[in-house]
Amino acid sequence: MSLLFDRVSLSLGGSPVLHDISLSLADGEQAALIGPSGAGKTSLLMLANTVLRPNGGSLQLLGQAPWSLPSRALRALRRDIGTVYQSPPLPPRQRVVNAVAAGRLGRQSLAAALAQLLLPRDTAAIEAALARVNLADRLWERCDQLSGGQRQRVGIARVLYQAPRLLLVDEPVSALDPRLAEQTVRLLTDEARSRGATLLMSLHSVELALAFFPRLIGARQGRVMFDLPREAVSEAQLSALYADETPHAPPPTPTPLPWQRPC
């Protein structure tokens, strides 16, 4: 099993965000995570990559309980988990080549990692990863000279270069036009399938989720509303998932979390 959540709950800034999430993904399985804005999709993915720690319940990733591991073993586990962030945290002055090279930093000694950051040696493989997102010609460009969509694709090239066993992808196409969005989802699903990696991808587009994923997980207000093969998801379930939220208490002032910090 690549991912196993057992009654997991999470609070952020003192407010409950995820409630009683039980979920599993077998090795090599692919699922789309859908639901309205604020449903908790990003939070769930950040639990699955150990950026966040749950307040309740238990979780296992790639067969290990991350929060019971010694720090060295936790670092090793994190090397096998790759994340594509909605807004990739790319330092503005960093060159694209270094941003992609960062995908494998965890696999090296500190000295090798620092050397790789100053002068990446593996440029052929980095360029090949960039070519898959049509950015090979941007290898030496600075990240702050890229458009939002290009930055999103650099984040994808980084995870292609990392080649993790568990691939977590948070709305990878928000800054892409429809044609590129479809190409990108296809690229990530093909990549996971060809390497036998497990893929969990949050998507705002239900159409893309239905077109590319055999399994859909619908989340709303921090709960899993359904978890079904795509053929079993009904129009009524989708309408209920996205139905207007009833007014509730104003949200707390958010404290920026690691993946929300400005570049």
Ligand X SMILES: Nc1ncnc2c1ncn2[C@@H]1O[C@H](COP(=O)(O)OP(=O)(O)OP(=O)(O)O)[C@@H](O)[C@H]1O
Q: Write out the residues near ligand X by the rule CB under 6 A.
A: 12-13, 15, 17, 35, 37-43, 251-252, 254-255, 257
Q: How far is CA 109 from CA 158, 159, 206, in A?
A: 19, 19, 42
The residue (of 47 and 97) whose beta carbon lies closer to ligand X is 47
Give the type of residue at 147: S
| The residue type at 146 | L
Q: Is 216 within 8 Å of 233 (Cβ atoms)?
A: yes
**To the nearest whole angstrom, how small is the minimum distance from the Cβ of residue 21 to ligand X?**
12
How far is Cα 229 from Cα 212, in angstroms, rounded to an integer? 12
Tell me how far, at minimum, the Cβ of 240 lies from ligand X, in Å: 16
Pairwise CA distance, residues 228 & 135, whole Å: 36
Cβ within 8 Å of residue 235, ≥6 positions away:
none
Q: Note whether 24 and 3 are within 8 A (CB).
A: yes
Q: Rounded distance, CA 34 to CA 30, Å?
A: 13
Give the residue carrying structure tokens 């591991």.
Answer: 69
Q: Which is nearer to ligand X, 40 or 155 (CB)?
A: 40
Q: Shortest gap between Cβ of 255 and ligand X (angstroms)?
A: 5
By beta-carbon proximity to ligand X, the closer residue of 146 and 219 is 219
Residue number with CB closer to ligand X (36 or 106): 36
Q: Nearer to ligand X by C-beta: 23 or 129?
A: 23
The least distance separating ligand X from the CB of residue 44, rounded to whole angstroms, comes to 7
Compute the least distance from the CB of residue 128 to ligand X, in Å: 31
